[in-house]
A and B are shown apart, each in its own frame.
Chain A
Amino acid sequence: MNGLAHQIVAGIATGGIYAAVALAIVMIYQATHHVNFAQGEMATLSTFIAWSMINAGMPYWVAFFATVVVSFAIGVAIERLLMRPVQNAPELTHVGVFIGLLLIIGNATGWIFGYTTKSFPSPFHSDKPLAGGLISAHELGSTAVTLAVLLLVWAFFRFTRLGLAMRAAAYNPRSARLVGIRVGWMLALGWGLAAAIGAVAGMMVAPIVFLDPTMMLGILLYAFAGALLGGIDNPMGAVIGGFVVGVLENLAGAYVVGTELKLTVALAIIIGVLVVRPSGLFGRVVYSRV
């Protein structure tokens, strides 16, 4: 019984990371109706930036916040330089640019930092076991960090003028433009935010899975599964979906399929959602007017 409880707790901890990446994907999806396949690679790059800063002797939390700021800038730059010129191009062009980004960022990190697996420090330590050994200090700390990030993002969109403007730009770009919102810049901000959220997720997962250039590929897959499960047009749904996928993945890994087929669990969830309820648990069913 204790084993089961531990699996669930560990699932919630990794689920928080999937939830963060799923939120990053849904934020860009809501504004542009495109799924950023390079989101994982961007997060890996951010984590490597943090790793270099920490190795250069910077205190963990200074490096953490510096990385979030740098990642935000990278996200904005990518939107301005690469996505803006193709904003009216067909779907295939967008997917192509995302794949190009994935290739460039993924291989450039390997080129610069090498392909050997590196350990990444965790800021959370504890001398005595927490809750009778049910949860590790890092699991507890990373869950707290991801929850704090999710809460901050929610508060930002709910209570600030800028957040309202970004929601307006995503919901109805033309009307937003007419009331004086700079829609293009709102999109760039969205990309920046998504990159920053991804960076936090990367730094929180790296102590668990270890740091290498392909670290985020599997995590991106679970994030997709979470986003689809919760409804790809619903940020809150994506977050809940991420947590659910985390728990499901851990339970299935421990009791059903073993660790070697964990990625296939994500695939099965994606196909299952598409067959049973394509709009996800909390998504809107879209009717298009002809």
Chain B
Amino acid sequence: MTRMDESLGPSGAAGGSRAWRATLLTLGIFAAVAPAFLLESFQLFQLTMAVIMALAVLGLNIVTGYNGQISLGHGAFFAVGAYVTAILMSHFDWSFWATLPVAALVCAAVGYGVGFPALRLGGLYLALTTFSLAVAVPQILKHKALEDWTGGVQGLFLVKPDPPFGLAVTPDQWMYLSVVAVAALCFWGTWNLVHSRIGRALMAIRDNPTAAQAMGMDISALKTKTFAASAMVTGIAGALSAVAIEFVAPDSFTFGVSITLFVGMVVGGVASILGSLFGGLFVLFVPNIAEAISKAAPGVIYGVILILFLFLLPGGFAGLLRQIAARLTRRRP
């Protein structure tokens, strides 16, 4: 079912010729940049957040989708990334760009530390540990010992960076373009990762750990490194979100964030890069629609949609597209 790798893309029909690819790339860049100049400020902010959520879902997809290790606590890495950037920007006056690599490294290190004990064992232990981590994070962020750095319950306020070199764009537009650029880089890197030798190893570990070990793979080391990489990508998304929202506070990083990312992954498509993009759009826009009904409605609707997808469409949106594409291109005798 979901254990199929992405087949849309360069290896498919679209990868025929070089000219085709260049055209697609140009169109893609155009489609990504155009909204910055077409949308109203608030819509642009929402789209910025959708791209950020897509990036966070992509991080979760690396470890849960491709490597089969279930994490219910990626919201914790989202929080760590956001706080690293916020602290560096507000206490040390670092520029936004300089904080990104630091946030990425810190998140990778935290991911390695959390993943190491749990991933030696496999199975549910990672889900249990990450679940607990996600529940405990707001409490840790509020703690008095860290209050000087994290701002306690009040959180920290930030300011969006101004566009450099006197470019004629607003800070909102510049923010959107920066987010798209960073996200594109991460999506490209992840694409290369999962289509490489290591990527095949990750999927082999997911599908048959015993066989993978018999082939000489050090499965617990690979799983832990994958978890670190996945925490890093989600952490970068968190760092971007801190600047886009211009505010971080412990109560924005409850257990709900981790659940949101999980739902986004399942609905968008497990083990699918394109699916992560759908997931980001879904988690940003569906709650807005549902909230019109009631405060509790988004949660209930999320739950119902999650279970419906698992029962009826386990491949998510990306799986649905794949099925349609397969049906259209199937040759009839």
Binding site for B on A (CB under 8 A): 34-35, 37, 82, 85-86, 89-93, 95-97, 99-108, 110-111, 115, 217-218, 221, 224-225, 228, 258, 260-264, 266-267, 270-271, 274-275, 278, 290
Contacts and interface: CB of A to CB of B under 8 A. Distances in A.
Most chain B Cβ neighbours within 10 Å, of A110, A217, A271, A275: A271
A263 B139 contact: yes
Interface in B43-99: 64, 68, 70, 72
Most chain B Cβ neighbours within 10 Å, of A99, A104, A218, A221: A99
B317 interface: no
B147 to A, nearest CB: 11
Nearest to B255: A217
Given A35-B128, A217-B255, A267-B132, A97 B300 contact: no
B70 A107 contact: no
- The 3 A-B pairs of least Cβ separation, nearest first, read A107-B299, A103-B303, A104-B303
A95 B255 CA distance: 15
A260 to B, nearest CB: 6
Nearest to B145: A261
Contacts of B284: none
Contacts of B302: 100, 103
Nearest to B135: A221
Nearest to A264: B136
Given A217-B135, A267-B132, A278 B121 contact: yes
B280 interface: no
B146 to A, nearest CB: 11
Contact of B124 (A34, A93, A221, A271): A34
Given A35-B127, A103-B300, A111-B297, A96 B266 contact: yes
Given A103-B300, A278-B121, A95 B132 contact: no
Interface in B206-263: 210, 214, 255, 259, 262-263
Contact of B136 (A92, A95, A263): A263
5 contacts: A34-B124, A91-B123, A261-B143, A263-B132, A271-B129
B296 interface: yes
Contacts of A97: 307, 310
Contacts of B132: 221, 224-225, 263, 266-267, 270
Q: Is the interface of B mostly helix, strand, loop or mixed?
A: helix
Given A35-B124, A103-B300, A263-B139, A270 B129 contact: yes
Interface string B165-176: 000000000000
Contacts of A266: 132, 136
B294 A111 contact: yes
A105 B124 CA distance: 22
A110 B294 CA distance: 10
B133 interface: yes
A275 B117 contact: yes
Interface residues of B, number: 49
B128 A108 contact: no
Interface in B293-331: 294-300, 302-304, 306-307, 310-311, 314
Q: Is the interface of A mostly helix, strand, loop or mixed?
A: helix
Given A110-B296, A266-B132, A274-B118, A100 B70 contact: no
Contacts of A111: 294-297, 300
Contact of A107 (B140, B144, B300): B300
Contacts of A86: 310-311
A218 B138 CA distance: 12
Given A267-B135, A274-B125, 16 more contacts: A35-B127, A91-B68, A92-B68, A93-B310, A96-B306, A97-B310, A104-B307, A105-B303, A108-B300, A115-B295, A217-B135, A217-B255, A221-B131, A224-B132, A263-B132, A267-B133
Contacts of B117: 271, 274-275
A201 to B, nearest CB: 18
B270 interface: yes
A264 B139 contact: yes
A103 B299 contact: yes
A205 to B, nearest CB: 17
B300 A104 contact: yes
B219 to A, nearest CB: 13
B229 to A, nearest CB: 19
A263 B314 contact: no
A253 to B, nearest CB: 12
A92 B207 CA distance: 12
A92 B270 contact: yes
A101 B310 CA distance: 12
A262 B140 CA distance: 10
A108 B296 contact: yes
A261 B142 CA distance: 9
Nearest to B296: A111
Nearest to A269: B132
B120 interface: yes
A104 B133 CA distance: 22
Interface string B141-160: 01110000000000000000
A228 B306 CA distance: 28
Nearest to A37: B131
Most chain A Cβ neighbours within 10 Å, of B125, B129, B214, B296: B296
B303 A100 contact: yes
A96 B306 CA distance: 7
